[in-house]
Amino acid sequence: MLNRFVKTVFPKGQLPGNIHTEYDYIHMETTPYGEDCIQFGPDYDKQKAMRECIAFINQIMRTIATPDNCGFAVAENPHDLGQCGVGVYYDVRVLYPRPMTDDEKNPYIDWALSIEGAGIELWDDMARVELGLTPRNKE
């Protein structure tokens, strides 16, 4: 089973590029680096994991301007749980248009890579609300 995108998110309701646009992507974690993520295993909660991915995508879009035709996806990935059978887990992908030729410099790669360097350490208050957590300033 190949991984597949189960949800795509483009900012401001913009549609992805035209039907001929092909996308490259980089893998991201599902949470800010200072937060625990939902652990994959026999008790993996796919609904909670999806909410976590969407909350992280929304927080990234609040933090870093997203160029036109760029966006995000939640990918479903196969995993063999051994005795438990085959399962899937989610991860976040940063989508950016592939250049038309191999010689063309892709201006979107720097943007895509800058997301990891943005240093999103903790959930912001809006993400915490999306996840049903108490905002930090209320704790």
Would you say how long the chain is, in residues? 139
Please report, as a single letter, which amino acid is at residue 119.
G
Indicate the pTM of the whole model.
0.81
Within 10 angstroms of residue 42's Cβ, the number of other Cβ atoms is 9
Determine contact, residues 51/130, Cβ cutoff 8 Å: yes
**Confidence (pLDDT) at 19:** 46
Determine contact, residues 61/130, Cβ cutoff 8 Å: no
Please report, as a single letter, which amino acid is at residue 65.
A
Q: What is the pLDDT along the chain (139 residues), one digit of tens a residue?
A: 445 666 777 765 555 555 446 788 898 889 999 998 888 777 778 889 999 999 999 999 999 988 888 889 898 887 766 455 447 788 899 998 887 777 777 888 889 989 987 889 999 999 999 999 987 765 5
Residue ranges of E strands in 1-139: 4-9, 23-28, 71-80, 86-97
